[in-house]
Amino acid sequence: MISAYLTSQGINHGVLLRKLPVMQYLFYLSKIPVSMSPLSNNALFLSFDRNPFPDYFQRGLVVTLSTDDPLQFHYTREPLMEEYSIAAQIWKLSSSDMCEIARNSVLACGWEGGLKERWVGKMIECCIDSDGSSYMGSPVAPAPANCHPNNSTTSFGSARSLTFDNDIAKTNVPDIRIQYRQQRHQYEMSIVHSPTGASPPLLMVTPLLSVERLSGEDLAMREEEEEFMEDVKGEFPEMHGRISPALSE
């Protein structure tokens, strides 16, 4: 597990982490994704009641649900849906939990940054100062093609990493859930960066979110405008350039 922590951008299964609390903490601080397949584990060596997935998830590790040998351990044409539905029933996962796990999957996957932005939100820069305090920088545009949420460059006194904002219209994950995760991670990082190791006061500071928030009525109106423009572009391409500036005004 130590070698995996030092060399990997993500690991599969990760059931041995349940015996190594220190490594769990390091994986949490570094936000290294852990992809798990409870159905495979249940069939081979670890029953559902002993599976550490719900513990990892509650503690804030970047855990995802995945398949493992679908022809051997699954019974339908949608093996990933089996993993999600059974996990939701056994561990009483809410809809917000399921959406957060799906969001984690996008962050952990090897897709280029542009596709990740399409599914979860804009890429932003997260900075951690020497005292452990962190803040969200401006959106990164365009998103680097080889972006990974854990890519970071560390210098003396500060650390910078690329992460993704939460666009609730795309992820269905409540902003307050993401804010809570960020605040807890910021608090733990401040302890690690503290020269004395003392626990600082837990400041409930709302992180900056770069996604424009629209009311339900405004969001519906924008969607109607976008659909209208797509229809115009398809049927009357010569008029599209003249109508777009008018709508933007």
The residues, any chain, with a CB within 8 Å of residue 6's CB and separated by 6 or more, are: none
User: Measured between alpha carbons, how far is 32 from 25 in angstroms, rounded to an integer?
Assistant: 11
Chain position carrying tokens 């917000």: 96
Q: Prior bond to 54 cis, omega within 30?
A: no
The residues, any chain, with a CB within 8 Å of residue 211's CB and separated by 6 or more, are: 121, 122, 165, 166, 167, 168
What DSSP assignment string belongs to 13-40? --GGGGG-HHHHHHHHHHT--EEE-HHH
Q: Which residue out of 13, 74, 148, 193 is catalytically annotated?
A: 13
Report the candidate in 109, 91, 100, 88 with the shortest Cα–Cα distance to residue 176: 100
Q: Is 13 a catalytic residue?
A: yes
Joined tokens for residue 57: 């998830």
Burial (CB < 10 A; 0-12, 13-18, 19+), residue 65, is: buried
User: Measured between alpha carbons, how far is 153 from 151 in angstroms, rounded to an integer?
Assistant: 7
Which H or E element spans position 225? helix 216-235
Single-letter amino acid, residue 61: L
User: Measured between alpha carbons, how far is 162 from 128 in angstroms, rounded to an integer?
Assistant: 11
Active site residues: 13
